[in-house]
């Protein structure tokens, strides 16, 4: 039985896909049930607002932000990506025109180092940790939790977000809330500094620099 120190392990609604039977293959027909079995959408005010015709893309909305789940069907194991967006993020597509510039509206909180930002690290410290191949505390804690040990991908990747929701609480969603522009601007500068320190300011998606987030 999970200890009190592992909030994700004690979730009562973790029923549909038990750790010992968490599938490597999901299929589009049960994608929504799969993600809902690991994430407490109701607690944070999320409701599903969109599903693509092929059921491989799901969007959930709360008063603070949006969540995007994408399913990629692979031969050995399906893959799930999770992105966070502000209220102007589109249900289809990643790039929008915002304040006169094309920018990226959906955000991978792992590649943008959101946990490190909340833990008070500077962009320079994040780059230093990457060079030293030091795993971030949030990931270490999740990996050593009971559920983190039991689950395999793609379930573990989804459950990690529930762990972050419990670890950081409302401030994680407030980061993407357009009503908290001051925090967002600090984060945008953190991301810009990170790419500059890596000499990677030219890295882009659809010709939009990775650091140009909105």
Q: How far is CA 172 from the centre of its chain?
A: 10
Find the DSSP H helices in 121-180: 123-131, 137-144, 146-150, 155-168, 170-174
Find the DSSP H helices in the chain: 31-36, 114-118, 123-131, 137-144, 146-150, 155-168, 170-174, 181-197
Handedness of CA 193, 195, 200, 202 (dihedral sign): negative
The residues pairing with 150 across neighbouring beta strands, listed in sequence order, are none
pLDDT of 23 reads: 64
Q: How far is CA 25 from the centre of its chain?
A: 21
Tokens 């573990």 label which residue? 156
pLDDT of 91 reads: 96
138-143 contact pairs (CB < 8 A, 24+)? 138/163, 138/164, 138/167, 139/115, 141/167, 142/8
* Residue whose C-alpha is closest to residue 121's, from 203, 194, 199: 194
pLDDT of 24 reads: 66
Q: How far apart are CA 30 and CA 26, in angstroms?
A: 7
pLDDT of 25 reads: 66
Predicted structure pTM score: 0.87
The low-confidence residues of the chain, meaning pLDDT below 70, are 1-25, 27-28, 75, 77
């Amino acid at each position: 039985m999970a200890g009190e120190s592992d909030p994700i392990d004690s979730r009562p609604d973790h029923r549909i896909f038990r750790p010992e039977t968490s599938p490597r293959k999901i299929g589009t027909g049960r994608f929504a049930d799969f993600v809902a079995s690991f994430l407490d959408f109701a607690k944070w005010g999320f409701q599903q607002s969109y599903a693509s015709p092929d059921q491989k893309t799901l969007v959930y909305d709360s008063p603070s932000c949006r969540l995007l789940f994408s399913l990629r069907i692979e031969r050995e194991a399906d893959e799930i990506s999770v992105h966070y967006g502000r209220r102007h993020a589109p249900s289809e597509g990643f790039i929008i025109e915002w304040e006169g510039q094309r920018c990226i509206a959906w955000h991978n909180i792992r590649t943008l180092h959101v946990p490190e930002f909340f833990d008070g690290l500077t962009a320079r410290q994040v780059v230093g940790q990457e060079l030293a191949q030091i795993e971030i505390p949030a990931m270490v804690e999740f990996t050593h939790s009971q559920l983190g040990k039991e689950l395999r991908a793609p379930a573990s990747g989804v459950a990690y977000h529930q762990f972050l929701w419990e670890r950081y609480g409302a401030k994680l969603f407030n980061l993407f809330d357009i009503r908290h522009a001051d925090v967002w601007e600090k984060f945008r500068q953190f991301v810009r500094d990170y790419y500059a320190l890596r000499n990677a300011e030219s890295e882009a998606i659809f010709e939009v620099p990775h650091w140009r987030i909105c």
